[in-house]
């Protein structure tokens, strides 16, 4: 219903229908527009009588008061000029405001932006004639008496020009002059003549002359770029996430006025416009640019300890398990477990950093390598790709030593002395966090207690917007039984159910089931007369929007009092304690001899606890959604709260017991912790132990006790037998629920995996000879040359074997992938066996008019595939990889936007993805074909990628293809890799999933070990 229809439908009692001329008088001033009447008439309106025309306006103005747009006065209303400019045409018409200015604004520029004489003059033009003008707030008077309303973009332009004209010559600095241009450009860019604006059909029409060629960027976030320095320190630079040369920006930071709310930077013909928050974020980074050498490790592991997370994007009463707050060493746990390169890192087959660094020849190359390693450490990755190689960066001390040696070697080569180390004199600080008691008492009767837990009250399915599937009902009731039982006993009791793992296969609806179970817990809590507590859900950033949507789709009425999102762009700022110190950093002098912080030295950065009243974060009945990074950065505040249930979605994020976020997850207080993950084992059995130790502390013992019992004390699950794996699963019992789609989604279409390797009849894979392509000559020669090079070495070491293995991996994808100029005439698709087999599949998919995902990890190969596809099929596919943002910045298309565009295209279409970028939060059921042009070393990652298309909502048979590059004389790298990966996935022989393929396994299978 439009506003006019609404007003006509409203009964206006005692109105004088003959008097439509009496209306509010419009009185504009420089900041607002007042709508006033004589006091008697206004009093009549308040009583429900008065002239018809004024009554219509009165009703609308009262509605605007409810909207927070208007303010009621003793004899009228006031609306700010900004809000008047943005009123809808219908509202403006009812209020009697003049029409929107339909003409142009013509600019006259004097001087250049570096001159204090620089000035921009605006003239109005209606038709063919220029006329003088005057602005009062949002009202423009042109000529003698022609009145118009101006829109928001027009208002910003006129105000900017007027304010600049008022500056003294000394105030017309280059920064101030460029800021004016940026504001005009920004207003011009955001007023598209092809699209009507909020005020109706009118648009901003402004001619900027030669400045029309300039462009304006408006960053939506500020993040960090870190560059190691020769003295071991780290130089930190603001990263605005826009297409502007970073080196050029480096010389322009002084354009930001420290005293101004916003800022602008000019780079060539591009203007970077910073609003108040983004300018504050840049100043925050610039205030702490140099991280001293002794703090670099702390910075890389926890940048939130150095910078305000509410301004810069980065990714007490504690629980009985927390011993206190003090200095922590993230490597402590890792040093107690097995060391060495036993497993491939999550990002691929990793080789020692020294091997890649020995080939670095210039300072520029070394700086690039340093940056990539620093970024990997900041993300918490175990490995990173450099020049096509996957480099192991887990041992930071070893990697740092290798970097220093490379730096010394390069300096000697160019006859440049290595500068002496200089420490920046700063107060010594240390990283602090929750200190956990790992020797937690558990009761052997827990197994029976969790097994016998009963449903104390029926689940209310009738009030849900959608009914659960049978397996979802089972999952809801399993969670509800355990959550209800968690209300029994006190926090410290060793015989209390404290948590569980929902390990269902991806795509079974874990979020939906979790939300229903949370509502049932709240009902049970109320029925038991227990204290009402808030709920916390810790999620990857990309899943926050999904959770909000699921709440709306699941409940008629939300069971939560409200939902708070702890992100800087959402609710985090209003719950931060202004001026609070970083929670994860403390001065060394504040620690006692044992390395602990005294209670009075512990500070909290969030508003938690009753002392904040209604402004507290932990209001009873509230659902708080946060990320794993925020949990890490505000771990002390989160651990202070008495949560009812804490949900860890995609809980594999807390599988590493040495990480800060895992410590935070284990130290948080809750009646019940639910860890939801489709991959409870990604790398090794230690993952599962860590998840269980978070859910039900002590049940599996310490890691050493668990290892002694199940792994013969070796701390590794190499060769874990099916019998031992089954025993572990049986011991965990009802603390974990694990179902697969194949078992419980009978409505799903079939899924078939095809490989180019002949397989046994009982394996869940089909042999397709079309996927087994013999290496073309160029590929075979490159492969043979690499093998010959390795075999010719008289002295072989594991590092050289790893380097050869990595080279064979690249050659098997494309023989020229490692070339400096990959993509030239030598880099054609017909020189790579897997690519030829993949195109054979793509031809079939095109014939069926269906959609396909091509999974590729290597970024250069992604680009080449996109180009080859365009040449062959006439369409240019989008690419989704680790660089594609999950959340939009600078107007960039997000992953979800790319997926939506891909799915909405009718008929045949394809998209290229990295399996590393699609493990969380994406559903792509529009595609029913997937080609793994490049395999991932971890079968769990491949399963995550495949399950983006094989989940609830898929209606067509799903086909997954594994093309193979065959060698005519020897068993190829691809054949070895395929066989080992299938062994890992067939190991329903261990607990439920498997680990990555180990380097020793591959080298041994290929004869690369002595």
Percent residues over pLDDT 90 in the chain: 23
**Residue 691: pLDDT band by 50, 70, 90 thresholds?**
very high
pLDDT attached to residue 52: 72
Say whether pLDDT at 478 is over 90: yes
Closest among 430, 212, 223 to 328, alpha carbons compared: 430
Do the Cβ atoms of 990 and 717 come closer than 8 Å? yes
pLDDT attached to residue 336: 33
Which of 28-32, 276-280, 316-320, 532-536 bottoms out in mean pLDDT, i.e. has the lowest? 316-320
Task: Find the mean pLDDT for residues 646-654.
Answer: 92
pLDDT attached to residue 818: 78
Say whether pLDDT at 20 is over 60: no
Q: Which of 139-148, 265-274, 937-946 has the highest mean pLDDT?
A: 139-148
Task: Find the mean pLDDT for residues 301-318.
Answer: 68
Closest among 212, 198, 215, 224 to 299, alpha carbons compared: 224
Q: Identify the burial level of 269 via C-beta atoms within 10 angstroms of its C-beta, where 0-12 means exposed, 13-18 middle and 19 or more buried.
A: exposed
H/E run at residue 940: helix 939-946
DSSP calls for 140-199: EEETTTEEEE--HHHHHHHHHHHHHHTS-GGG--HHHHHHHHHHHHHHHHT--TTS-BTT
Q: C-alpha distances in angstroms, 677 versus 482, 649, 660?
A: 18, 6, 19
Helices marked H in 528-647: 544-554, 572-575, 628-633, 635-640
Which of 464-473, 506-515, 673-682, 706-715 bottoms out in mean pLDDT, i.e. has the lowest? 706-715
Residues 6+ apart with CB under 8 A from 43: none
pLDDT attached to residue 14: 42
Task: Find the mean pLDDT for residues 596-609.
Answer: 82
Residue indicated by tokens 């094989």: 950
Say whether pLDDT at 365 is over 70: yes
Percent residues over pLDDT 70 in the chain: 76
Say whether pLDDT at 981 is over 70: yes
pLDDT in tens, 189-211: 555 443 333 333 344 566 666 66
**Residue 372: pLDDT band by 50, 70, 90 thresholds?**
confident
Do the Cβ atoms of 272 and 265 come closer than 8 Å? yes
Task: Find the mean pLDDT for residues 743-761.
Answer: 80
pLDDT in tens, 427-445: 556 777 777 777 777 777 8
Do the Cβ atoms of 476 and 519 come closer than 8 Å? no
Say whether pLDDT at 874 is over 60: yes
pLDDT in tens, 56-108: 788 778 767 755 688 889 899 999 999 999 887 768 888 999 999 988 887 78
Closest among 280, 239, 238 to 259, alpha carbons compared: 280
Helices marked H in 456-601: 470-485, 510-527, 544-554, 572-575
Which pTM was predicted? 0.54
Q: Which of 369-378, 833-842, 896-905 has the highest mean pLDDT?
A: 833-842
Strand partners, 237: 225
Say whether pLDDT at 847 is over 80: yes
Do the Cβ atoms of 62 and 95 come closer than 8 Å? no
For all residues of the chain together, what is the average pLDDT? 78
pLDDT in tens, 720-745: 666 777 788 888 989 999 988 777 77
- The whole-angstrom separation of Cα 870 and Cα 865 is 8
Which of 150-159, 323-332, 925-934 bottoms out in mean pLDDT, i.e. has the lowest? 323-332
Task: Find the mean pLDDT for residues 454-461.
Answer: 91
pLDDT in tens, 884-894: 444 443 344 45
Do the Cβ atoms of 205 and 193 come closer than 8 Å? yes
Task: Find the mean pLDDT for residues 490-518.
Answer: 89
Say whether pLDDT at 426 is over 60: no
Say whether pLDDT at 16 is over 60: no
pLDDT attached to residue 843: 95
Say whether pLDDT at 467 is over 70: yes
Q: Which of 205-209, 270-274, 620-624, 700-704 has the highest mean pLDDT?
A: 620-624
Higher-confidence position of 283 and 564: 564
pLDDT attached to residue 830: 87
């Amino acid at each position: 219903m439009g506003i006019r229809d609404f007003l006509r439908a409203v009964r206006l009692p005692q109105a004088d229908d003959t008097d439509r001329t009496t209306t509010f008088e419009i009185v504009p001033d420089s900041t607002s527009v007042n709508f006033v009447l004589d006091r008697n008439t206004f009093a009549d309106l308040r009583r429900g009588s008065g002239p018809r025309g004024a009554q219509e306006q009165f009703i609308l103005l009262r509605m605007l008061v409810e909207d927070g747009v208007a303010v009621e006065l003793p004899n009228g209303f006031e609306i700010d000029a900004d809000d008047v400019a943005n009123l809808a045409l219908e509202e403006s018409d009812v209020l009697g405001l003049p029409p929107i200015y339909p003409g142009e604004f013509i600019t006259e520029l004097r001087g250049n932006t570096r001159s204090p004489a620089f000035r921009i003059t605006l003239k109005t033009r209606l038709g063919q004639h220029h006329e003088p003008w005057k602005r009062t707030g949002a009202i423009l008077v042109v000529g003698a008496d022609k009145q118009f309303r101006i829109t928001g973009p027009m208002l910003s332009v006129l105000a900017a020009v007027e304010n600049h004209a008022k500056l003294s010559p000394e105030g017309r600095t280059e920064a101030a002059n460029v800021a004016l241009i940026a504001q005009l450009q920004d207003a011009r860019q955001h007023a598209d003549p092809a699209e009507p604006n909020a005020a109706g059909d009118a648009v901003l029409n402004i001619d900027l002359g030669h400045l029309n060629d300039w462009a304006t960027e408006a960053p939506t976030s500020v993040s960090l770029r870190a560059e190691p320095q020769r003295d071991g320190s780290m130089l930190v630079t603001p990263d605005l996430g826009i297409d502007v040369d970073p080196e050029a920006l480096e010389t322009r930071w002084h354009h930001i006025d420290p005293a101004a709310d916003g800022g602008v930077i000019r780079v060539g013909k591009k203007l970077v416009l910073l609003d108040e928050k983004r300018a504050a974020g840049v100043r925050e980074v610039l205030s702490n640019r140099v991280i001293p050498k002794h703090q670099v490790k702390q910075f890389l592991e926890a940048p939130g300890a150095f910078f305000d997370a509410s301004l810069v994007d980065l990714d007490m009463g504690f629980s009985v398990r927390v011993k206190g707050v003090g200095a922590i060493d993230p490597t402590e746990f890792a040093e107690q477990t097995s060391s060495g390169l036993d497993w491939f890192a999550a990002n691929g087959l990793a080789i020692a950093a020294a091997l890649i660094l020995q080939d670095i020849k210039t300072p520029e190359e070394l700086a690039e390598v340093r940056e990539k390693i620093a970024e990997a450490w900041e993300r918490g990755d175990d490995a990173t790709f450099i020049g096509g190689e996957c480099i192991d960066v887990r041992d930071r001390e070893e990697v740092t030593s290798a970097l220093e040696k490379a730096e010394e070697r390069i300096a000697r080569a160019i006859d440049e002395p290595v500068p002496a180390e200089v420490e920046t004199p700063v107060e010594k600080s240390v990283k602090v966090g929750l200190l956990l008691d790992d020797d937690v008492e558990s009761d052997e009767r827990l197994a029976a207690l969790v097994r016998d837990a009963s449903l104390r009250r029926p689940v209310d399915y009738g009030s849900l917007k959608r009914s659960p599937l049978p397996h979802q009902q089972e999952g809801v009731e399993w969670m509800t039984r355990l959550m209800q039982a968690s209300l029994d006993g006190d926090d410290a009791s060793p015989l209390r159910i404290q948590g569980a793992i929902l390990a269902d296969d991806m795509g079974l609806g874990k979020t939906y089931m979790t939300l229903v179970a949370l509502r049932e817990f709240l009902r049970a809590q109320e029925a038991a007369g227990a204290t009402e507590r808030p709920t916390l859900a810790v999620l990857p950033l990309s899943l926050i929007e999904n959770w909000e949507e699921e709440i709306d789709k699941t409940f008629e009425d939300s069971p939560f009092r409200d939902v708070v999102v702890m992100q800087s762009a959402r609710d985090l700022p209003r719950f931060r304690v202004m001026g609070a110190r970083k929670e994860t950093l403390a001065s060394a002098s504040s620690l006692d001899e044992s390395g602990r912080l005294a209670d009075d030295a512990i500070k909290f950065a969030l508003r938690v606890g009753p002392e904040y009243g209604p402004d507290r974060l932990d209001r009873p009945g509230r659902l708080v959604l946060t990320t794993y990074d925020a949990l890490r950065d505000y771990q002390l505040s989160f651990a202070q709260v008495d949560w009812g249930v804490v949900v860890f979605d995609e809980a594999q994020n807390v599988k590493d017991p040495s990480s800060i976020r895992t410590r935070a997850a284990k130290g948080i207080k809750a009646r019940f912790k639910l860890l939801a993950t489709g991959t409870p084992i990604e790398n090794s059995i230690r993952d599962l132990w860590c998840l269980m130790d978070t859910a039900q502390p002590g049940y599996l013992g310490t890691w050493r006790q668990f290892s002694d019992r199940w792994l013969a004390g070796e701390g590794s699950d190499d060769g874990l037998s099916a019998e031992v794996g089954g025993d572990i699963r049986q011991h965990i019992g009802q603390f974990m629920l694990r179902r697969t789609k194949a078992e419980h989604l009978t409505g799903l279409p079939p899924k078939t995996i095809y490989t180019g390797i002949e397989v046994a009849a009982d394996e869940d894979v089909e042999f397709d000879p079309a996927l087994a392509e013999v290496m073309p000559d160029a590929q075979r020669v490159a492969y043979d040359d690499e093998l010959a090079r390795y075999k010719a070495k008289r002295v072989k070491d594991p590092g050289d074997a790893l380097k050869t293995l990595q080279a064979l991996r690249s050659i098997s994808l494309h023989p020229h992938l490692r070339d400096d100029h990959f993509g030239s005439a030598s880099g054609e698709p017909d020189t790579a066996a897997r690519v030829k087999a993949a195109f054979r599949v793509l031809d079939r998919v095109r014939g069926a008019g269906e959609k396909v995902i091509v999974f590729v990890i290597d970024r250069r190969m992604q680009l080449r595939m996109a180009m080859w596809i365009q040449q062959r099929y006439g369409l240019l596919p989008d690419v989704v990889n680790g660089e594609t943002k999950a959340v939009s910045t600078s107007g960039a298309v997000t992953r979800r936007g790319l997926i939506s565009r891909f799915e909405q295209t009718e008929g045949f279409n394809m998209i290229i993805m990295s399996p590393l970028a699609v493990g969380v939060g994406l559903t792509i059921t529009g595609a029913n074909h997937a080609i793994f042009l490049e395999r991932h070393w971890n079968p769990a990652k491949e399963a995550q990628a495949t399950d983006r298309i094989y989940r609830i909502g898929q209606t067509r048979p799903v086909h997954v293809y594994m093309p193979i590059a065959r060698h005519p004389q020897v068993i190829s790298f691809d054949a070895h890799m395929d066989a080992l990966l299938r062994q890992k996935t067939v190991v329903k022989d261990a607990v439920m999933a498997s680990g990555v393929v180990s380097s020793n396994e591959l080298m041994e299978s290929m004869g690369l070990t002595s």
